[in-house]
Amino acid sequence: MKFVDEFRNAGQAHALSAKIAELCEPGRHYKFMEVCGGHTHTIYKHGLEDYLPESVELVHGPGCPVCVIPMGRVDDAMHLAANPDVIMTSFGDMMRVPGSNGSFFDAKAQGTDIRMVYSPLDSLKIARQNPDKRVVFMAIGFETTAPSTAMTVLRAAAEGLENFSIFCNHVTIVPAIKAILDSPDLRLDGFIGPGHVSTVIGCRPYEFIARDYGKPVVVAGFEPLDILQSIYMLMLQLSEGRSMVENQYTRVVPWDGNVVALKAIGQTMELRPYFEWRGLGFISHSALRMRADYARFDAELLFDVPGVRVADPKACQCGEVLKGVLKPWECKVFGTACTPETPIGTCMVSPEGACAAYYNFGRLNRQRVKEVSRS
Amino acid sequence: MTTSHPSETQSASETHSAGWVAEALREHDELARQSAELPNPHDGRTKGSPQPLPGTVREEQVLERIDRARRSRPRVKEQRITMSHGAGGKATRTLVEAIFLDAFRNPLLEPLEDAAQLHFNGSRVALTTDSYVVSPLFFPGGNIGDLAVNGTVNDLSVSGAVPLYLTAGFILEEGFEVDDLRRIVASMHDAAAAAGVQVVTGDTKVVEKGKADGCYINTAGLGIVEHSMNLGVAQARPGDAVLVSGPIGDHGITIMLARGELDIEADVISDTAPLNGLVADLLAATPGIRAMRDATRGGVATILNEVATDAGVCVVISEDAIPVRPEVRGASELLGIDPMYVACEGRLVAVVDGAEADRALAAMRAHPLGEQAAIIGHVADDPAGIVLLKTAFGGTRIVDLLVGDPLPRIC
């Protein structure tokens, strides 16, 4: 298939793999974080680790929109959805995220009107079709999905729709990366920068990572060859003693981002003073809320939202997994108490979550598998 | 940057202390206790050893613990039925084993094959039943009527039986158009004629408006087994070949697009078709056939997992070898769905003696419904219970049972 197969070419992967191996200094261990959950998914789905030398280790980062939602926000959303006047809408990934009293799916099974949508515009359609109901869209995601929420709000405003609102949980990637860089637990050699976020914000916001922390960043695409090439580019920077922001995903990511999208976000949303991230705690200026001009679309103002902070179950180590301190399988409950069918932590829910990706695709002994594959 | 915040904190374990999290954690502790008691196979030390183990060994231990957790007795943890219980993946299997098999357990039901094999006076008879709730009722390539006939014909066929008789039960919603019912029944008639079966008894119920979605159909089927082969996924053994009879995922993608919620258009039609002719040719050409399954809900991935689990083998498949139409692949890429999990209604997966793989392939390809059949992989012994995929990219990963419900009602 065009525009897909050329980025999954095994011959080119072998060539890149050999070039990466050549750049490895003997005795040195390399640790790169792929910030974005989409990259984590690609790495496991295509078995990319088979191409990496043992001394190159990939650490999974916090860039999974569903994974960073704290339990309290899920409970708030459930509280909103329980209002008989409300039709709650959200992306499919959100449906299985556990709150303290079950997930959206569980609530749906008990008769709460919760609907899965593919786009916030679908929520708008539901609002038009149900004028006697109040339709709430649970908005999640980084700068990747924030523009579509913003455009939906602008359209709702233009149409004068009064029964539509946003429960805004949009977060921003840079404060989370900074929190990781400032965390004493982790020593990284570089970052595979988020691809889709960068289509919106561009590459400049990462310059402080290279400048102030001396770590190379390569913004990467989502096909397996994109990621392999970005690892090669990181290795090349290290071997040449450089630390810069480079763009591997030039076919999609403009250096300065998408100005129209940024304007739409800026027009409708503003930074919150602080926001709670699952496992990472409260991070200043790390999330978005509706601007006062668009308060009539802000579900947090229109409805009674309890806003109670709920601590994660004690055994859940999503925080350490999100920061890359623990590998998924190192979590105490991984695969036994916490599985994709009954997730305790968010990292086991979304296909972009490190735990789900490892459990669904990577749960195998690579050494043993190499022998089987040869047979 | 990270600041603490003095808001009220509630412990999740308090809010559902009697809930499934507490229970899951108890289970986890029990498993951890069991693995601490087991000697470590790698270096003779036990898990409580003061010296840290190397990462690979610890990872291996975790994998073993997960294996044990997966083999433990299935239990339905949810309080209520969710859509996942009907999606054909893990939740469906748990529901069937923990609720239905637990209650009805008997040697005929236990293999959980597509049809039960019954013995009467020296002859073998196969019996099966299936309900159809597809939405929309009419879709490109068919409707709920031919689906209800073909699905049951196929369940009998892949069990190795010659399908003979069907029953038809209708649950109709008040207000349903009689013309639509006529069209559905006419399709059933045509499909039955094409498959050489007769509908010999039936039932009709009408429920109030809003209590059903137009029309649901149940069909049961009876067939006769004319050979002495013992078919079943548990028969698979290392060295066997795994085949699929044609491009996968057509039906599931057709239904998703036909619902009109995705604003994607593609030239793809349902693959609904009776497989009894293809099966007869395959059986005649391949005495070393171990098992056949039609790849309905849960898709090819689910069947391969059933083979791996029930036979205690590893199924190794090559992504490159799996036939998928470009339209289906394109839609799947857009929607983030793996075609391996998408339903078919006229495709089967066969496991055959490796020495007969080519003959089986030739027999399938000689049949109009198997023109694009392919050998997609083989059976190995290790790691047992796992489906291993060699990706087109050249890496390896596992293919697990489907979790959740990415698809609307498809059959």
State the angle between helix axes of A37-45 and A224-239 in degrees (0 to 180), rounded to the nearest 10.
110
pTM of the model: 0.87
pLDDT for residue B38 is more than 60: no
DSSP A182: H
- Cβ atoms < 10 Å from Cβ of B210: 9
Taking only the tens of pLDDT, chain A with its 375 residues reads 878 888 999 999 999 999 999 999 999 999 999 999 999 999 999 999 999 999 999 999 888 888 899 999 999 999 999 999 999 999 888 888 888 888 898 899 889 999 999 889 999 999 999 999 999 999 999 999 999 999 999 999 999 999 999 999 999 999 999 988 998 877 899 999 999 999 999 999 999 999 999 999 999 999 999 999 999 999 999 999 999 999 999 999 999 999 999 999 999 999 999 999 988 889 999 999 999 999 999 999 999 999 888 888 778 888 888 888 888 999 988 988 888 888 888 888 887 889 998 998 988 876 666 666 555
Nearest Cα of chain A lies from the Cα of B242 at a distance, in angstroms, of 15
Closest CA to A204 of A255, A252, A249: A255
Task: Determine contact, residues B226/B162, Cβ cutoff 8 Å.
Answer: yes
pLDDT band at B71 (very low <50, low <70, confident <90, very high): confident
Residue in B closest to A54 by C-alpha: B56
In this prediction, residue B4 carries a pLDDT of 41
- Whether the CB-CB separation of B314 and B363 falls below 8 Å is answered with no
Tokens, residue B207: 């429920």
Supply the pLDDT for residue B66: 84
Q: Which long-range contacts (CB under 8 A, 24 or more apart) does B60-66 make?
A: B60/A365, B61/B35, B62/A329, B62/A330, B62/A334, B62/A335, B63/A329, B63/A363, B63/A364, B63/A365, B64/B35, B65/A335, B65/A336, B65/B31, B65/B32, B65/B35, B66/A334, B66/A335, B66/A336, B66/A363
Which residue matches tokens 């392919």? B374
Instruction: Give yes or no for a contact between A335 and A317, defined as CB atoms under 8 angstroms apart.
Output: no
Instruction: Give the CA distances from residue B371 to residues B223, B244, B279, B327, B365, in Å, rounded to whole numbers and listed in that order.
Output: 26, 11, 14, 18, 4
* Rounded mean pLDDT, B299-320: 95
State the pLDDT confidence band at B54, using cuts at 50, 70 and 90. low
In chain B, the residue whose alpha carbon lies closest to the alpha carbon of A340 is B403
Query: CB B66 to CB A10 under 8 A?
Result: no
What is the structure's pLDDT at B328?
Answer: 95
The number of beta carbons lying within 10 Å of the beta carbon of residue B155 is 27
Residue B170 pLDDT > 60, yes or no? yes
Average pLDDT over chain B reads 87
Distances (CA, A) of A58 to A13, A25, A357, B388: 17, 17, 13, 22
- Partner B, chain A 189-248, Cβ-Cβ below 8 Å: 224-225
Instruction: Please tell me whether residue A364 adopts helix, strand or coil conformation.
Output: coil
Residue type, B13: S
Rounded to a whole number of angstroms, the distance from the CA of A339 to the nearest CA of chain B is: 10
Nearest to A144 by CA among A18, A36, A229: A36
On the question of pLDDT at B8 being above 70, the answer is no
Separation CA B1–CA A179 (nearest Å): 6
Give pLDDT, residue B14.
40
Most confident of A68-72, A321-325, B13-17, B134-138: B134-138
Nearest to B310 by CA among B402, B237, B216, B373: B237
Q: Span B399-403, mean pLDDT?
A: 86
Strand partners, A274: A284
Q: What pLDDT is recorded for position B326? A: 94
A67 vs A344: CA distance, rounded Å? 11
Q: Does A133 touch chain B (CB under 8 A)?
A: no
- Are the C-beta atoms of residues A333 and A46 closer than 8 Å to each other? no
Orientation angle between helical segments A146-159 and A120-129, nearest 10 degrees: 30
- B118/B197 Cα distance (integer angstroms): 19
Record: contact A307-B66, CB cut-off 8 A: no
Residue of A nearest to B333 (CA): A4
Identify all chain A residues contacting B80, using CB atoms and an 8 Å cutoff. 106, 109-110
pLDDT at site A95 = 87
pLDDT band at residue B119 using 50, 70 and 90 as cut-offs = very high
Q: What are phi and psi of B131, to 5 degrees?
A: -110, 150
Closest partner CB to B2 (pick from A281, A335, A337) = A281
Complex ipTM tops 0.90? no
Q: Residue B33: its pLDDT value, please? A: 73
Residue B212 to residue B310: CA distance in whole angstroms: 36
B86, two tokens: 């009907």
A295, A301 Cβ separation under 8 angstroms = yes
Q: What are A326's strand-pairing partners?
A: none
**Which of A248, A36, A222, A293 has its CA nearest to residue A142?**
A36
Interface-testing mutation among A284, A372, A374, with chain B (most B C-beta atoms within 10 A): A372
pLDDT, tens only, B326-349: 999 999 988 888 999 999 999 999
pLDDT at B410 over 80: no
B:199-228 residues touching chain A, CB 8 A cutoff = none
Rounded CA separation A209/A121 (Å): 36
Share of chain B above pLDDT 90, in %: 67
B24 touches chain A (CB under 8 A): yes
User: Mind spelling out the 3-state secondary structure of chain B?
Assistant: CEECCCCCEEEHHHHCCCCHHHHHHHHHHHHHHHHHHCCCCCCCCCCCCCCCCCHHHHHHHHHHHHHHHHHCCCCCCCCCCCHHHHCCCHHHHHHHHHHHHHHHCCCCCCCCCCCEEEEECCEEEEEEEEEECCCCCEECCEEHHHHHHHHHHHHHHHCCCEEEEEEEEEEEECCCCHHHHHHHHHHHHHHHHHHCCEEEEEEEEEECCCCCCCEEEEEEEEEEECCCCCCCHHHCCCCCEEEECCCCCHHHHHHHHHCCCCCCCCCCCCCCCCCHHHHHHHHHHCCCEEEEEECCCCHHHHHHHHHHHHHCCEEEEEHHHCCCCHHHHHHHHHHCCCHHHCCCCCCEEEEECHHHHHHHHHHHHCCHHHCCCEEEEEEECCCCCCEEEECCCCCEEECCCCCCCCCCCCC
Q: How confident is the model at residue B406 (pLDDT cuts 50, 70, 90)?
A: low
- List the Cα angle A34/A39/A44 in 5-degree steps: 105
What SS3 state is found at A63? strand
Element (H, E) at A70: none
- Check residue A105 and give its pLDDT: 87
pLDDT of B47 reads: 43
Model pLDDT for residues B83-99, shown as the tens digit of each residue: 888 888 888 889 999 99
Phi, psi of B328 (to 5 degrees): -70, -40
Q: How much is the CA Rg of chain B, to the nearest whole Å?
A: 24
Q: Give the three-class secondary structure for A68.
A: coil
**Among the partner residues B1, B2, B69, nearest to A335 by beta-carbon distance:** B69
Q: Calculate helix-pair angle for B357-365, B276-285, nearest 10 degrees.
A: 150
Contact A175 B1 (CB under 8 A): yes
Contact state of A48 with B4 under an 8 Å Cβ cutoff: no
pLDDT for res A118: 85
Which residue, chain included where needed, has tokens 């295509």?
A46
pLDDT of B235 above 90: yes
